[in-house]
Amino acid sequence: MSSAEPTEQTGPAVRSHSEHSEHSEHSEHSEHSEHSEHPGNAPRPAPMPGLAESARLLADSSTTSTTLVADALARIEAAQPTLNAFRHLRVEAALAEAAEADRRLAAGERLPLLGVPVAVKDDTDVAGLPTHFGCDGDRPPVTTDSEAVRRLRAAGAVIVGKTNSCELGQWPFTEGPAFGATRNPWNTAHTPGGSSGGSAAAVAAGLVPAALGSDGAGSVRIPAAWTHLVGIKPQRGRVSVHPHHDAFQGLTVNGPLARTVADAALLLDAAAGAHPDDFHRPPAVRASDAARRDPGRLRIALAWRPPLTLTGAGPDPEVRQAVAALAETLARLGHHVEEARPRYGLIGLTFVPRATAGIAEFAARHPEPALLDPRTRSALRTGTRLGGRVVRAARSREVRQHHRIGALFDTYDVLLTPTTAAPPPRIGTFDQLSAWRTDVTMAAACPYAWPWNVLGWPGINVPAGFTRSGLPVGAQLLGPSRSEERLIALAAQLEDDLRWYERRPPVS
């Protein structure tokens, strides 16, 4: 990203990774990094209202869209040198759209998100902006909104900008030569996760009320876990990925990140729906209604053992402790919770061809392949070899995987697992690693999320607490096909009890 680009297409220039590399770990028992808290005794700014609260304030004429959008843009500009959450801002266009939303509100028009600022990920087409998807190099602005953005606009939302993603969404960190490193507002020495790390950092820091991300192997749920957010991976096809009809061989879906279940559900309702050309068209759900519904007494399976990744990874003791405490909360709320083992089988053998073929498809479209990360070029070669007949064979096994893994739901209603095996790594952990070492390190830290992308089924990350050093960790609520409403109702019940939204990060 060039700092010489017009303000309409880019946020403030970012500092390089090396300028941030010496931050110390944020801990109650150690020195804070220079960006871990507001300097001196300066008062913290009031938190930006959430998505539902923003919509209510606008409908009640208690504020204006211009006020909310200008506030969001100011927060983004102020936080960009520290968090680097955004790749592009729409300053002039967003303010003009906010003024138009104010005119519509004054005329009595009401829509679910009319005038509310939101952000979307850098893999999502927004007319007038390039879609870099974390890559270096120049791209022309696209001329048409993606279907998800079209639906957000139809609900009245004002898109303030596009958030950073790692290159082609491959990794659980949001760093790269094209934009630098996006940092975790809970501790800027650590990653917010990836690949929707920019969206997660922006929401966690209160720069926007909610944001859209995408999840092809946990890329909504992992950064949600590592930034203390609710992140929903919906059923395949729930939110259109058009203009990509079957993104990453069916692995990738779009989904919301927010501080509360109600806000995530509201964004999901606004973005949901199919494009006429979409392959996957599940029947509609009412996510916001589900967030107000009692889930009933559920049978919950707690699984500690991840699918086979050949890393021997299990949960870090502090992650295990946090998820165990959340399981105890579920039991106290009246649910039946017991340990169980899903029959994952060798699901990784079907994931790898689909994931690498998807990367190859996107990488092949890059106008300057030499600018791609060497690990991306390695994945491109692998995906090319595993494309065609191999990837078709991998996809043909999905029905059998549904039956084998879905047998768990003959006995249980919900599967509970850690979202990640480890707390958020430090910035630079993956620097200079080979493609193989990156994959091994990634699989060890994040072995739990990706099977649900192979299955196409919904899952939700909920905040599970913090490590002793103050780093967030999360837990997954996973369900069978089209079970979003049950998972959302259960997540809302947990939120009512644990009130995780009351805790805010030091950097905002």
What tokens appear for 485 in the block? 């409403």
Contacts of 441 (CB under 8 A, 6+ apart): 429, 430, 433
Cα(222)–Cα(461) distance, integer angstroms: 8
Which residue among the candidates 36, 54, 65, 121 is catalytic per the annotation?
A: 121
Task: Given the residues 195, 214, 378, 508, select the one marked as catalytic.
Answer: 195
The pair of structure tokens assigned to 391 is 């990837």
Beta bridge partners of 175: 181
CA dist., res. 172 & res. 194, Å (int): 4
Residue 121 appears among annotated catalytic residues: yes
- CB contact at 8 A, 158 and 210: no
Encoding tokens for residue 375? 């690990």
**Residue 311 corresponds to which amino acid?**
T
Which is it for the CA torsion 68, 69, 70, 74, positive or negative? positive
Cβ-based burial of 311 (10 A; exposed 0-12, middle 13-18, buried ≥19): middle
Alpha helices in 250-346 (DSSP H): 261-271, 287-290, 317-332
What does residue 159 show for φ and ψ, rounded to 5 degrees?
-80, 115
H/E element, 232 = strand 230-233
Instruction: Give the chain's end-to-end CA distance (angstroms, integer).
Output: 23
Alpha carbons 48 and 69: distance in angstroms, whole number: 11
The structure tokens listed for 238 are 């729930």
Contact by Cβ (8 Å): 65, 58: yes
Q: Single out the catalytic residue among 33, 146, 199, 219.
A: 219
Find the DSSP H helices in 407-462.
435-445, 451-455
Burial of residue 346 (CB within 10 Å: 0-12, 13-18, 19+) is exposed
φ, ψ for residue 380, nearest 5 deg:
-60, -45
Considering only CA atoms, which of 143, 187, 123, 195 is closest in space to residue 166?
195
Tokens of 384: 């090319």
Residues assigned a catalytic role: 121, 195, 219
